[in-house]
Amino acid sequence: MKLIPSAAAALALLSGCISVPPDASRAKGPDFAQAQHAAAIRLPADAWPAEAWWLDYHDPQLNGLVARALRDSPTLTVAAARVASARAAFGAEVANEGGRVDLASGLNRQRYSSNGFFPPPIGGAWFNDASVALRASYDVDWWGKHRALIAAALGETNAAAAEAAQARQTLAASVVQSYLRLQMLWARQDNTNALIAVQRDVIAGRKTRMAHGLISADALQSAEQDLASLQEQAARYDSDAAREREGLRALIGGDAAALADLARFQPAPAIDAVPRELGMELLARRPDLAAAHWRVEAQLGRVAASEAAFRPDINLAAAIGLDATSLGKLLRYPSRTPLFGATLDLPLFDSGRLHAQLGTTRASRNELLAEYNEAVLNAVRDVAREAATLQGIEKETQAHAATLDASVRLAANAEARMRRGLADRAAVQQARMAVLRQRDVGLQLTDARLQTQVALARALGGGYHASLPNSAPALTQSNTKSDRP
């Protein structure tokens, strides 16, 4: 509907008299061009995690546990409910933008006072009043207030969806870490049991030698003390494994018998991988960063709506209906009651309420943007830290492989000398103990590598990949005409 020239001129004059406070506190967004890990960090593969990155461990048990957790977790149910709530709020905001048409009807019977404004014969008599009307109204979104509120609701919806994805990836990573930690505890417990078996063999040999007067009782007691220490360590592994098992059961939401048939499986680390370039791609890969971005976008919409509140609010209304004092006359042409109108609401004095509201929304925007900038830096730090850790573990593993190989060769040489009668059984036992201890070191390195691989996959977004928002570059610009920093 077009405004008449005089009304348009008056509107322009009034809007020019309303001044929106300047945004002197506008903050800057993150610089994704500098969001990189150190150039010295290099891993064997240049890749982002796949959506189901845990499949690289080739363990059907693990795959089933992750699938069960993602299906039955109460945490994901809560996240899904929040997404549904955000979508409902978005739908409600979209509906508020459109026009409105109502049908109203009424039938009244009223007695007019004999001592009132109307004299007899109206006063003191009863009359009927029947009416029916079709009313239409439309709020002209001249300054984009409704559009800004819709954008804010859309931002909240997208943020809730990204947070739901974050919850899924966090849960999957927690399940994988717990399972791998449990398997490595079992592996170290088995290795310790092998050490216990060799140590018992050592004790048996020393008892025989002591019976022949070849060694003192102190040597036997020392061996028995070493056995007690190994048994204590095995018991500790058993306790840690039981605690880890219960934690894993809670993660998948299982009952007391959920993991009764869980078998031991020696996990093999996947190929270490980190992308050579992070930058803007990190926004699409990290659901928490995507959620933080959309929170800022939502707040930008609220800021725009607060600014639009300083402008005149125009509403158009129209109605057509019928009104009569009797039902018999209601449908006649003279009973028509058409109405056309427009209202203009212009804030002039409100004790600073609009300024306070605008200041609050801008301050919240800056707070969310600062949190977003911090989240980007933390994400890059997490990736760099885990990748550097993997790089260091790889070097340690290579050095340890040489040590383990040397221990295995020494054990083989000791057994060969014993077969030729050039060495006693005690030397072979000590060599075997050395090999088992080196294997325990290797298991520790494998455990550290597995845990760090999962942490790196999580730092890289855990397989999440969303389309980059169209307005993403706006967060990196600080000199735009809009309110986007």
SS3 state of residue 314: strand
Residue 128 has pLDDT above 90, yes or no: no
Q: Residue range 46-75: average pLDDT?
A: 91
Quote the pTM value: 0.80
Using alpha carbons, select from 386, 391, 393, 387 the residue that is nearest to residue 445.
393
What Cα–Cα distance (Å) separates residue 330 from each residue in 94, 107, 131? 37, 11, 7
CB 55 within 8 A of CB 270: no
Residue 350 has pLDDT above 80, yes or no: no
Using alpha carbons, select from 171, 156, 167, 166 the residue that is nearest to residue 293.
156
pLDDT bin (cut points 50, 70, 90) of residue 1 is very low
Distance between CA atoms of residues 43 and 297, nearest Å: 35
- Greatest CA separation for the chain: 140
| pLDDT for res 460 | 93
| pLDDT for res 483 | 39
Structure tokens at 38: 């150190």
| pLDDT for res 401 | 93
Q: Which residues contact 250 (CB under 8 A, 6 or more apart)?
A: none
| pLDDT for res 34 | 67
Give the side-chain half-sphere CA count within 13 A for 403: 15
SS3 state of residue 264: coil
Q: Residue range 324-336: average pLDDT?
A: 75
pLDDT bin (cut points 50, 70, 90) of residue 54 is very high
CB 11 within 8 A of CB 344: yes
Rounded percentage of the chain residues whose pLDDT exceeds 90: 39
| pLDDT for res 124 | 80
SS3 state of residue 315: strand
| pLDDT for res 44 | 82
| pLDDT for res 2 | 45
Q: Which of 311-325, 371-385, 450-464 has the lowest mean pLDDT?
A: 311-325
Residue 475 has pLDDT above 80, yes or no: no
**Geometric angle at alpha carbon 290, from 288 and 292, rounded to 5°:** 70
| pLDDT for res 468 | 53
Sheet of 313-324: strand order equals 100-111, 126-140, 313-324, 339-345
SS3 content of the chain, % helix, strand, coil (to 5): 60, 10, 30
Complete domains list, the chain, with CATH: 20-98+143-310+353-476 (1.20.1600.10)
Site of tokens 């969001």: 35
Distance between CA atoms of residues 270 and 50, nearest Å: 12
CB 49 within 8 A of CB 457: yes
Q: Residue range 424-428: average pLDDT?
A: 83
| pLDDT for res 207 | 84
Distance between CA atoms of residues 348 and 452, nearest Å: 61
| Cα dihedral 319, 321, 324, 328 in deg (nearest 10) | 180
Q: Residue range 296-320: average pLDDT?
A: 85
Structure tokens at 348: 């002039």
Residue 3 has pLDDT above 70, yes or no: no
Residues 255-302 pLDDT 10s: 878 888 899 998 999 998 888 888 888 888 999 999 999 999 999 999
Residue 482 has pLDDT above 70, yes or no: no
Is beta strand 339-345 parallel, antiparallel or unpaired with respect to 100-111?
A: unpaired
DSSP H/E element including 423:
none
Residues 160-190 pLDDT 10s: 999 999 999 999 999 999 999 999 999 999 9
The full DSSP string for 243-258 is: HHHHHHHHHHT--TTT
Q: Residue range 427-450: average pLDDT?
A: 93
| Range list of H helices, 212-286 | 217-252, 281-285
Q: Which residues contact 20 (CB under 8 A, 6 or more apart)?
A: 307, 310, 358
The chain-wide mean pLDDT, for the chain, equals: 84
